[in-house]
Amino acid sequence: VQMTQSPSYLAASPGESVSISCKASKSISNNLAWYQEKPGKANKLLIHSGSTLQSGTPSRFSGSGSGTDFTLTIRSLESEDFAVYYCQQYNEYPPTFGGGTKLELK
Amino acid sequence: EVQLVESGGGLVQPGRSLKLSCAASGFTFSNYYMAWVRQAPKKGLEWVATISTSGSRTYYPDSVKGRFTISRDNAKSSLYLQMNSLKSEDTATYYCARHGGILRAPFAYWGQGTLVTVSS
């Protein structure tokens, strides 16, 4: 299953809201996860099952979608949110990742 | 606190072998599927291997099947990746990751990775 993320780069300011899209090449039900990657830190699972926040994920993060189209939304950006975000499907093997979205400070 | 600490990376010549290790702590290791995921320089994430809780079942993508072997030692809470016939395209940071309790689950925890460079 091919995962296509957009945009690849996104510039925003603290306090703004942003959305990242992830599209699967075939239906993956809601078996989709979102991860955050930051330099020097272990990747962090933010959301699984398309919209379920992993324990410890701030409520300003939300996920939506099912089937082939998914969205990660971050409301009221904080400084610690500037990072790279990946989607990943685990509906079937091999598990596959989107190409990533780098969220940069404007 | 869940911790995954990888080791064993380094510079290796094409065609040679290398074995990576991952020391797990903070959870009951034997209850979880485990995996290796890699990231080539300036590239995205690629799943490399998964192993079942007992170690009896393993899964690989075509890109490494027949060359890489994932294994585990539940008594030592350790995960391994034996990499043979290495190619330049295997150059990447390799991450140890914990699945959920089933095969089709996200990677709930990750290590910080160990860098493998395949070059002559």
pLDDT value at residue B102? 83
DSSP chain B: --EEEEE--EEE-TT--EEEEEEEESS-GGGS-EEEEEE-TTS-EEEEEEE-SSSS-EE--TTTTTTEEEEEEGGGTEEEEEE-S--GGG-EEEEEEE--SSSS----EE---EEEEE--
What was the pLDDT predicted at A23? Answer: 98
Name chain B contacts of A84, Cβ cutoff 8 Å. none
Of all residues in chain B, the one with the smallest CA distance to A38 is: B112
- pLDDT confidence of residue B103: 83
- How far is Cα A76 from Cα B91, in angstroms, rounded to an integer? 38
Contact A35 B59 (CB under 8 A): no
Which of B78, B84, B61, B74 lies closest to B12, judged by CA? B84
Q: Using CB atoms, which residue from A42, A95, A98 is nearest to B110? A: A42
CB contact under 8 A, A91 and B61: no
Which residues on chain A are in Cβ contact (under 8 Å) with B4? 42
Confirm if B29 and B14 have CB atoms less than 8 A apart: no
Over residues A24-76, the pLDDT tens digits come to 999 999 999 999 999 999 999 999 999 999 999 999 999 999 999 999 999 99
Cross-chain Cβ contact A41/B112 below 8 Å: yes
